[in-house]
Structure 1
Amino acid sequence: MDRIPVTREGFQRFRDELDRLKRVERPAVILEIKEARSHGDLSENAEYHAAREKQGIIEAKIRDIENNLASSEIIDCPPGPKTRVIFGSTVKLEDLDTDEVKTYRIVGPFEADINKGLISVTSPIARALIGKGLDDDIVVEAPGNTKEYEILEIS
């Protein structure tokens, strides 16, 4: 099985979330189910069915995180100045069409969250950035359009 890259911070966030789900969420939903059962007939007990559905969601999240952690490989960025974009780099870019400046960090697919500026190493923009240096221009081929950026900063 191929290992999936993950930052040390992302790996720790997954472990913390797994711990929270197992220590807090799972026991809480078990209590909710127990309480709902005490109300009698389960066939028409909306609280019971809602709690069981919630339990299923929690258990699915636990399995998903455990699978992600099992297939992950922590990749650390080397310390010191960054001259090239690598996995884990934070990159400030200028959109050459709009002059808009964006900052992204290149992370593993499991930890990507565009709303937080975390982009997957497998995304079109990250693939275009890897190996490039300061002041390089990149062309990103995405479905439906092509964008050009200049690399302003690498950290």
Structure 2
Amino acid sequence: MDLFEAIAKRKSCRSLIKTEIPMGDLEKIVDAGRLAPSGMNRQPFEFIIITDPETISKLSIVQGFIRDASAIIAIVADEKQSKYWLEDVSASAENMLLAITALGYESCWVEGTLLRKEEEAKAILNVPADKRLVIFLPIGKSLVAGSQAIKKSAGEMTYYEKYGQRQRP
């Protein structure tokens, strides 16, 4: 699958079924995250690949549906390393979500509920106190055949030269 096809097919999936995911695929996904750009190349992110069913079950305190994930990639950030750590982590997460799609799996960016349960999740994963546990990417196959969300057309969202100008130069 090429990049533009992965972009077009990527969607959030909260209904996962367990499936065998080779460690090589999980490492490819993490490598896509590792290669993301970061401010001043500080790379303030680290990754935890979680495949143990018991650990995944414990982490479902964050969001119930992740219990059904075959694996989770957790993104850990060092906010002292870069003032752009959140943007850097976000670029890394999107790279990984595109890689997940390209490899034929589904996922969902889990952040907001994680922030409310961050300390509990950090304890489960042994994340040091000075690091942030920012994003979970639960990975699996979709339980239901989902359809793509209807997106606005490019013409509804694109201007040329100045805001409001839809006429191409």
TM range (shorter): under 0.3
With normalisation by structure 1, the TM-score equals 0.25
TM-score by length of 2: 0.24
The higher radius of gyration belongs to: 1
Q: Quick one: higher RCO (CA 8 Å, sep 6+), 1 or 2? A: 2
More strand by share: 1
